[in-house]
Structure 1
Amino acid sequence: MPAQQPIGVFDSGYGGLTVFRSIAAQLPGYDYVYLGDNARAPYGNRSFSTIYQYTWECVQQLFKMGCPLVILACNTASAKALRNIQQLDLPNGDPTKRVLGVIRPTAEVIGSYSKTKQIGVLGTKGTVQSESYLIEINKFSPDVQVYQQACPLWVPLVENGEHNQPGADYFIKKYLDAVMAQSAGIDTLLLACTHYPLLQEKIEAYLPQHIKVVPQGDIIAASLADYLQRHPEMETRLSRTGTHRFFTTSDDTADFDKNASLFLGSEVKSEYLELS
């Protein structure tokens, strides 16, 4: 076994850093490798087969870097690639490796946030079209009614640094009005894209105070902590030297570092990774 066996965290770009931030805060001391596929982002509007191909390529890269456990900190990848990876690729490759997503852990608990049992899900076009949240939330909370809304312009706003600008308000309000028009009883809005926490302050400004806006970071971190407690055979494999490494498939690492720092809330120094 390699001396260092970090936890891998994958996202199509920057958004997964909001999940990584929560994971590293709740589970300090472990080694982590973050990989953003910025050269091919965004994933949200791509086909099922393309998203699966890209995600699996990046997961395999993290395996090569010594990660026995990879978190898909990306809703689109979790919706369109995780099932194939878990059910087909891992059993036929290395069944000792594990890949976990963000949809199931979120679906397990989100029903408890709502008093009215009506939840709005805000996500990318790919996540919404997959209906993964409709299916998964129904498994754990069949009494909860789920209303979905795709917000295709929110990720570009964030990735172009426009999320704090006045021009973003029009598109934030547009999608919020659309989801709230589906039911006046919605009292919980799930941010089912890891970019959206950067818009949370503006989102909350357009909503009544009784509506909860729920990002995923802390939910995923708590779920991972529980997973490691229940699976000591994996937990004992993980190395603990407190190392955090960041990789991007974009050759402009300076641009990645600048934008990634906004998501992480601290300075990032990344390395370029050419997929092989």
Structure 2
Amino acid sequence: MSSQKPIGIFDSGYGGLTVFRSIADQLPGYDYIYFGDNSRAPYGNRSFKNIHHYTWECVQWLFKQDCPLVILACNTASAKALRTIQQQDLPNGYADKRVLGVIRPTAEVIGNYSSNKEIGILGTKGTVQSESYLLEIAKFFPEVKAYQQACPLWVPLIENGEHDKPGADYFVKQYLDGILGKSNSIDTLLLACTHYPLIQEKIKNYLPENIQVIAQGDIVAKSLTDYLKRHPEIEQQLTKNNDRRFFTTTDDTDDFDKQASMFFNEEVKSGYVAV
């Protein structure tokens, strides 16, 4: 157990690194640990039970590294595991710890981006099936109409390095046609998966100019900044040595480092954690 008390950032794979990048840019100086459960990714098509089990296992590992606060930088884990962790797991021995997700902070502001009050949500099958975004957006923006589209092939394309090749265009256009076919008044598309910023420019190429594309990183980072201001009892525990460590559950750390460096936009060197 180290003397450091870092902020833990968790994702099922690489996508959470896009959120981590925004957090690190907005909150420099803090210590961070990123933990990717790459050996069991993707989470998108798994059951609620398995996603909760895997996520909670990884969150507990981050607690053991002395993280007082863990961010689930994964929409699927936020949709399918966060509530159970907050309401059932933390009170049972971890009442002094905090776990936050990416869905609520996004839902709190996404309605402000749309002039037409019609939003399209692009996510994994798990996130879409949970309907978490529909429920959360309705709480904050009852006047907004939200439509969903599952994009199950986007994550595999991105993680296999095929996303920037011509073959990916067919699947990008296919899912965009699906969401835009649900309403011709959609003016805002939310990338409700942290992988999708890597194809944000390709997505824009297939959209009319009046439709904006919103990624979550800066939204989540701004929300975390506000959270720490409102919760000094957590913020004062966090150490600030500008230390960033990366861990993965895949034993091929060289491959993880190569992929992670692309998502994080900075060289990454990781350690292996067996699960």
Q: TM-score range by the shorter chain?
A: over 0.9
The AA in structure 1 aligned to 2:73 is A
Say whether 1:261 aligns with 2:248: no
Find the aligned partners of 2:245 and 2:163 in 1 and give their Cα distance.
26
Q: For 1:121-145, what per-residue CA distance to the aligned partner results, in whole angstroms no more than 9, with x for missing partners?
A: 0000000000000000000000000
The AA in structure 2 aligned to 1:117 is K
Gaps of 5+ in 2: none
The AA in structure 1 aligned to 2:158 is V
User: Which residue is equivalent to 1:239?
Assistant: 239
The AA in structure 2 aligned to 1:82 is L
User: Which residue is equivalent to 1:78?
Assistant: 78
Q: For 1:172-196, what per-residue CA distance to the aligned partner results, in whole angstroms no more than 9, with x for missing partners?
A: 0000000000000000000000000
User: Which residue is equivalent to 2:160?
Assistant: 160
The AA in structure 2 aligned to 1:192 is A
Say whether 1:34 aligns with 2:34: yes
User: Which residue is equivalent to 2:270?
Assistant: 270
User: Which residue is equivalent to 1:61?
Assistant: 61
The AA in structure 1 aligned to 2:29 is G
1:15-54 map, 5 Å: 15-54=15-54
Find the aligned partners of 2:249 and 2:231 in 1 and give their Cα distance.
31
User: Which residue is equivalent to 1:193?
Assistant: 193
User: Which residue is equivalent to 1:99?
Assistant: 99
Contact 2:2/2:65 (8 A) holds in 1? no
Find the aligned partners of 1:21 and 1:163 in 2 and give their Cα distance.
20
Kindly state the Cα deviation for residue 2 of structure 1 after the two structures are TM-superposed: 5.1
Find the aligned partners of 1:262 and 1:45 in 2 and give their Cα distance.
24
Q: Which stretch of the first structure deviates more once superposed, 122-131 or 85-94?
A: 85-94
Kindly state the Cα deviation for residue 106 of structure 1 after the two structures are TM-superposed: 0.2
Say whether 1:9 aligns with 2:9: yes
Q: Give the alignment's TM-score, normalised by structure 2.
A: 0.99
The AA in structure 2 aligned to 1:112 is N
Gaps of 5+ in 1: none
Find the aligned partners of 2:120 and 2:14 in 1 and give their Cα distance.
24
Kindly state the Cα deviation for residue 147 of structure 1 after the two structures are TM-superposed: 0.3
Matched position secondary structure for 2:91? helix
Find the aligned partners of 2:179 and 2:270 in 1 and give their Cα distance.
37
Displaced runs of 4 or more, over 2 A: none
Find the aligned partners of 2:203 and 2:88 in 1 and give their Cα distance.
39
User: How many aligned positions are there?
Assistant: 275
| C-alpha RMSD of matched pairs (Å) | 0.7
Kindly state the Cα deviation for residue 159 of structure 1 after the two structures are TM-superposed: 0.2
User: Which residue is equivalent to 1:108?
Assistant: 108
Find the aligned partners of 2:131 and 2:209 in 1 and give their Cα distance.
28
1:125-274 map, 5 Å: 125-274=125-274
Q: Give the alignment's TM-score, normalised by structure 1.
A: 0.99
The AA in structure 2 aligned to 1:203 is I
Find the aligned partners of 2:51 and 2:27 in 1 and give their Cα distance.
29
Find the aligned partners of 1:86 and 1:100 in 2 and give their Cα distance.
8
Kindly state the Cα deviation for residue 66 of structure 1 after the two structures are TM-superposed: 0.7
Kindly state the Cα deviation for residue 209 of structure 1 after the two structures are TM-superposed: 1.1
Matched position secondary structure for 1:120? strand
Q: For 1:82-129, what per-residue CA distance to the aligned partner results, in whole angstroms no more than 9, with x for missing partners?
A: 000000000111111000000000000000000000000000000000
Q: What percentage of aligned pairs have identical amino acids?
A: 73
Contact 2:6/2:67 (8 A) holds in 1? yes
Find the aligned partners of 2:52 and 2:93 in 1 and give their Cα distance.
16
Kindly state the Cα deviation for residue 212 of structure 1 after the two structures are TM-superposed: 0.7
User: Which residue is equivalent to 2:122?
Assistant: 122
